[in-house]
Structure 1
Amino acid sequence: MPILLSALPILLLIWAMTKRRSVPSHFALPATALLVAVIQYGYFEADGRLMLANSMAGIMSVLTPISIVAGAILLNRVLFYSGAEAILSRWLRSVSHNKVAQLMIIGWAFAFMIEGASGFGTPAAIAAPILIGLGFPVLPVAILTLTMNSIPVSFGAVGTPIWFGLSGLSLTQSTLSEVAQQTAMLNMLAAFVVPVIALRFVIPWREIWSNLGFIVLSILSCTVPYVLVAQWNLEFPALIGGAVGLVLSVILATHGVGLKTPPNDQNIEKSLDSIEVLKALSPFVLLIVILLLTRLPNLGVKAWLNSTMPMWQWTVAIGEFEVSQSLVIGWHEILGTDISWQYKSLYVPALIPFVLVVLVCVPLFRMSSRQVILAIGETGGRLRLPCVSLIGALVMVNLMMQGETSSPMFLLAQTFAQALGESWAYTAALLGALGSFFSGSATVSNLTFGGIQLGIAESVGLPVSLVLALQSAGAAMGNMVCINNIIAVSTIAGIRNKEGVIIKRTLWPMLAYALVAGLYSYAYLWLY
C-alpha cells in the first residue's frame, strides 16, 4: 500500500497529461500537489506544520525560474518590436543559399546559443519563423526545431536545469561538477545522431550526405566548446558553445567548407549594412559579456552578488526574514521548522543580465513607449500559466521528499532499485524524458525526478554522477516531445491539430537519443 500510494500521484499526473484530451499542466500539477498533501497527511501521518512550511518554500522557490523566464521573454519581445529580430533574419538568410547550411546555422547553432541564454522553448519559437520565411515547409520545420532544441537544453537558461533543478539534492560541488561534465559528454555523443535525423524531416538523404562535412563541422563547433566549458562551469556550456558554433558555422558556410555549393550561391544578396547586423547582434554579445563578468569567480563580482552579509533582519511569527547587502532575500525557520528559502536578486539571471540588457536595448534601438509597453504586456501575459505550473511542481516535489527514508520519493526509489538493480542505468534517461514530457521543462523534470534517481543510485550502488547525468540528458531529450513546446511552436507556425503527428515524428529521434544514453551507460559501467 505505501508503494502504491507513493506512485499514485505521479501515475495520475502522467495519465492526465498524456490522455487524448489531456489536462493542462497548470491544472494537473497543482492538483497532483494537493493529492500528495492528502496522502502524506492522511496515510503517512506527516507533520502538518512541516508540510505547510514545505509548501510555502515551494511557492516562494518559483520566483527563481519564473524571473528568469520573464527576463528571457522580455528580451525576446524587445528584439521583436525593435526590428532587431527581422534584421537578424535577413542576415542569416544572406549567409548561404545552401539548404543544409541554413538549417544548421539557424535551427542548430543559433538555436543552441538562444537556448543557452534563455531556454524555456524560446529557441524553437525564434528559429521556426526564420526558417519558414526562408521557404521551408511549415510542419517539417516545426519538427526539426523541436528535435534540434534538445542537445543544449541540459544547460539552457544559463544552466538552470543543472544548478537549480538539482539544487534540492544536497550534492557536493564536486559531484555536481561531475554530473555536468558527464551530461555534456553524453549530449555531445547524441549530437552526432540527433541533428542528422532532424535534417531528414526537411530534406532528402542525398542532400544530407553530400553536405555531411559541413554538418559534422557545425555539430563539433558547438559541442566541443560545450564540453570544454562544462569541465569548469555549470552555467555557460550551451551559451558559449552556441556562440562559438554560430560564428564558426557562419564562417564555414560563407566559404563553402563541407558544402555542395548550389549554382546560385554567387548571386547571394549582400544588401544588409554590417553596422545594422552588429547592432542587432549586440544584445546577445552584451548578454554573454555580462554573464561572464558576473560568473567568473576570479573577478570578485560573483562573490559579492552572492554575499549573505545581513543588511536587514527581523523576526515574526512565521519565521526570520533577512535581506543582505547584495539583496539576497531569505526566509529562515519557516513556521518554526528548519525549512528555509532564499532568492539571490542580483545573481539569478533575471535582473542581471536580461532586464539590464533590455534597458540598454530601448535607447539603442530607439524604441517608442508603445513598443516597450507591448513587450512588457506580452511578457506578463505569457507568465501566468507557467507560474501556476511551476508552483504545483515545486510544492509537489517538496512534499514528495518530506519524511526522509519514509518519504514517498524514497519509497519509489527503493522499489525501482529492487526491480531493476544496476540495469536501471540503461533506462534512467527515459524517466528524465518523461518528466519533460508532462511538465514542459527540463528544470521541472530534474526537480521532480532528481530525488528518485539519486535514491536509486545510492540503493543499487550505481555512480551518482552517472545516474543524475542520465536524468539531465533525459530531461533534455524529452524536450522533443514536450507538449508545451509543441503547442508553442505550432501556434507560432500556424499549425492546427497536428500535435499528435508531431509527437509521433519526434518520438523516433528521442528514442535514438535514449539508445545513445544506454550505450554510454554500458561503456561507463564497463570501464568503471
Structure 2
Amino acid sequence: MLNLAISIIPILLLIWMMTKKNALPSYIALPVTALIIGILQLIYFGTNGRLLTANIISGALSAITPISIIAGAILLNRTLSVSGCEDVIKQWLEGISKNQVGQLMIIGWAFAFMIEGASGFGTPAAIAAPILVGLGFNPLRVAMLALVMNSVPVSFGAVGTPTWFGLGNLGLSDAELLHVGSLSAIMHTAAAIVIPVIALTFIVSWQQIRRNIIFIQLSIWSCTLPYVWLAQWNYEFPALIGGAIGLTLSILFARYNIGLEKKETTVTENTVKPLAFKQIFRAMAPTLLLIVILIVTRIKQLGLKGMLNDATPMWNFHLGFADLHISQALIIHINQILGTDTAWAYKTLYVPALIPFFLVVFVSIPFLKMNRHQVTTVFIDTASRIKTPFIALVGALIMVKFMMIGGDHSPIMTTGNAFAALLGKNWQYCAAYLGALGAFFSGSATVSNLTFGAIQQSIAHTVGLPETIILALQSVGGAMGNMVCINNIIAVSAILGIANKEGYIIKRTVIPMALYGVIVAIVSIFL
C-alpha cells in the first residue's frame, strides 16, 4: 500500500498543480514532477544514481523527436501566414459556401481534420478558428467548436505521432501497433457520428442542424470512411489523407448545394471576389507538396521508406559516457549511456521534421518570393514558440522514464496493478478517461500515451483484457481529452482574443468529452 501511495502521489500532485485555481503551466509542473519522482526513486526505491542520470539524458534527448516535428509544423504555418498564402486560402474557403453549417463543416471539421493529420500539436484550432471568426462567427463559440471538432483525427495527428511515438515504447510489434491504430480509428469513427453535430450546437440552432443534416453527415463520412480504411494498414496517414479527401468532397457538396438548405441566412452578406486558379494554386502549393512528400516517403512499396530507415552502420564513436552509432540513413543511436542499458535513437530523415516540414519551407521561400525580413520573422516566431513546449516535453519524458524504472516494481506498474485490482475487467469502461486525463494535464495526446500507455498495458495484462483494445481506448482518450485540455483552451482563447473564459469553456466541452468516452466504451465491447 505504501508503494502505491508513493507511486501515485506525484501524478496526483501534477494533476493538482495544473488544475488548481492559479494553475502552474506544464513547462513548470512537468519538470517539478519529474524531479519529485527522481528523488523518490533515489531515496525510497533505492535506484542507482547512475541509472537515474542515464534516464535523464535519454529522456531529454527523446524530446528532440516531438519538438522537431512541432518546430517544422510551426515553421510551415508561419511561412504560409507571413507570405500571404494564409489570407488567400481563407478568401478561397470563404467563397465556397454562404451557408453557416457548410462553412463550419468545411473549415471547422474537414479542413481542421486534414491540418491535424499533417501537423497536429494545436495547429488545427490555431488555423481554422481565426478563419471562422473572420467569417463573422462569435469567437467564444468558435473556440468551443474548434476544441470539440479537433478530437476524432488526433490519434493520427502529426503523421501519426500519438500512435507510433506515444505508444512506441511499449514493446509492441509493428503488427500490434497497427492493430491498436485500426481499433482506435473504428472507435473514433463511431463517435464522429454525433460529436461534430454536438460541436455545431455551440454556434447554430438545432433547427439549422436538422435542415442541413444530410450535408453534415456527408461531410463527416467523407473524412471518416477513408480514415478508418487507411488505418487498417497504416498508422501515419489516416487523418492526413482522410481529411484531404473529406475536405475535397465537402467542398464539392457545398459548391453544388448537396444536402444543404437552399436558402440560408448567412454571416457574410458581401460577395467574395473569385480568386484566379493561379493564385489559389500558389497559396496551396506548400501544403500540397507537404502531402505529396509524406505519401511517397511513407508507402513502403515505393522504396523511399526503406532508404530513410536504413540502419546499416556508417560511423561508430565512443563519446566517453555512451556509444554513438550513425547509420547510412543518418539514424542517430546512442546506447550504453553511462554504462547502463539505457539508449536513445532519432531517425533524422524519417521523423517528419527535416523531411517534409523543413524541406517544404526551404523550397517555399524562393517559390513564394519571400524577402529577408519575412524569412527572419518566420524563424524568430518559430523559435519563440517552441521554447516552453520543449521544456514541458523534456519534463514529461524524463518523468515517464523515471516512472518506468524498476521493471515489475516500477511506479507505473505498481499503479497499473492497483487500478486492475480495483476495477478488474470493468476497467474497459474507464480506460478512455485515463487517456483523457493525461491529455487534460499534459496538453498532448502524445504525452498522454507516453505517460499512461504502460499503465494501461499493465492493467490489460493483469486482468486479462485484450491489450490492443485497452491501448486503443487510451489513444482515443488522449484524443478526446483535447476538448478539455487547459493548454489548448488557453491557446485558442489567446488567438481569438478571449479573456478569462477557460472555466466557462471547460464546463461545456466536458459534456461531449464524457459522451465520447461512453460511446467508445460501448464500441470496444463489440470489438
Task: Classify the secondary structure of the residue corresponding to 1:366.
Answer: coil
- Taking the TM superposition and a 5 Å limit, the aligned residue runs for 1:97-496 are 97-262=98-263, 269-496=272-499
For 1:347 and 1:263, how far apart are their aligned partners in 2?
47
| Counterpart residue number, 2:35 | 34
Cα distance in 1 for partners of 2:140, 2:510 equals 15
Percent identity for Structure 1 against Structure 2: 56
**Counterpart position of 2:51:** 50
Question: For 1:319-361, what per-residue CA distance to the aligned partner results, in whole angstroms no more than 9, with x for missing partners?
Answer: 1011122111111111111111111111100010001111121
Partner SS state of residue 451, structure 1? helix
TM-score by length of 1: 0.98
2:124 is matched by which residue type in structure 1? P
User: Contact (CA 8 Å) 2:110, 2:250: kept in 1 or not?
Assistant: yes
Aligned match of 1:85:
86
Residues 1:13 and 2:14 aligned together:
yes
Q: Which residue in 1 is equivalent to 2:71? A: 70
Q: Is the 8 A contact 1:332 1:340 kept in 2?
A: yes
**Cα offset for 1:100?**
0.3
Measured in 2, the distance between the counterparts of 1:125 and 1:186 equals 26
1:349-390 Cα deviation digits (max 9, x unpaired) = 001000111112111211111011101001000011000000
- Show CA shifts across 1:233-272 (max 9, x none): 1100000000000000000000000000226899954521
Q: What's the CA shift string for 1:61-83, capped at 9, x where partnerless?
A: 00000000000000000000010
2: CA distance between counterparts of 1:200 and 1:38? 48
CA contact (8 A) 1:96 1:268 kept: no
Q: Does the residue aligned with 1:348 lie in a helix, a strand or coil? A: coil
What letter corresponds to residue 417 of structure 1 in structure 2?
A: A
Letter in 2 for 1:256: N
Asked if the contact 1:97/1:262 (under 8 Å) is kept, the reply is no
Q: Which runs of 4+ in 1 moved over 3 A?
A: 263-270
Q: What is the total number of aligned residue pairs between the two structures?
A: 524
- One-letter amino acid of the structure 2 residue matched with residue 219 of structure 1: I
Query: Does the 8 Å contact 1:193/1:512 carry over to 2?
Result: no
CA deviation after TM superposition for structure 1 residue 478, in Å: 0.2
Measured in 2, the distance between the counterparts of 1:444 and 1:43 equals: 26
Root-mean-square deviation over aligned CA pairs: 1.2
Contact 1:143 1:502 (C-alpha < 8 Å) held by counterparts:
yes
SS of residue matched to 2:23? coil
> Residues of 1 paired with 2:15 and 2:485: CA distance?
12
Q: Write the distance in 2 (CA, Å) between the matches of 1:73 and 1:177.
A: 28
What is the alpha-carbon distance in structure 2 between the residues aligned to residue 126 and residue 470 of structure 1? 28
Distance 2:459 2:264 in 1: 57
- The amino acid of 2:488's aligned partner reads N
User: Tell me, what secondary structure is at the counterpart of 2:95?
Assistant: helix
SS at match of 1:342: strand
Asked whether the equivalents of residues 222 and 242 of structure 2 are also in contact (C-alpha less than 8 Å), the reply is yes
User: What is the identity, as a one-letter code, of the residue corresponding to 1:317?
Assistant: G
SS of 1:167's equivalent in the other structure is coil
Q: How far 1:521 sits from its partner (Å)?
A: 2.4
Corresponding letter in the other structure for 2:404 = M
Specify the SS of the correspondent of 1:151.
coil
Task: Decide whether the 8 Å contact of 2:100 with 2:264 is kept in 1.
Answer: no
CA distance in 1, matches of 2:330, 2:468: 33
CA contact (8 A) 1:155 1:161 kept: yes
1:451 aligned partner, one-letter code: A
Shift in Å at residue 60 of structure 1? 0.3
Task: Say whether the 8 Å CA contact 1:286–1:357 is kept in structure 2.
Answer: yes
Q: Match for residue 506 of structure 1?
A: 509
Counterpart residue identity of residue 303, structure 1: G
Give 3-state SS (helix, strand or coil) of 1:168's partner: coil
Shift of 1:316: 3.2
Post-superposition offset of 1:310: 1.9
Structure 2 spans left out of the alignment, 5+ residues: none
- Distance verdict in 2 for CA 1:479–1:263, change over 3 Å: closer
TM-score relative to the length of structure 2: 0.98
Partners of 2:265 and 2:389 in 1: how far apart? 45
Deviations for 1:89-127, whole angstroms, at most 9, x for unmatched residues? Answer: 001000010000000000000000000000000000101
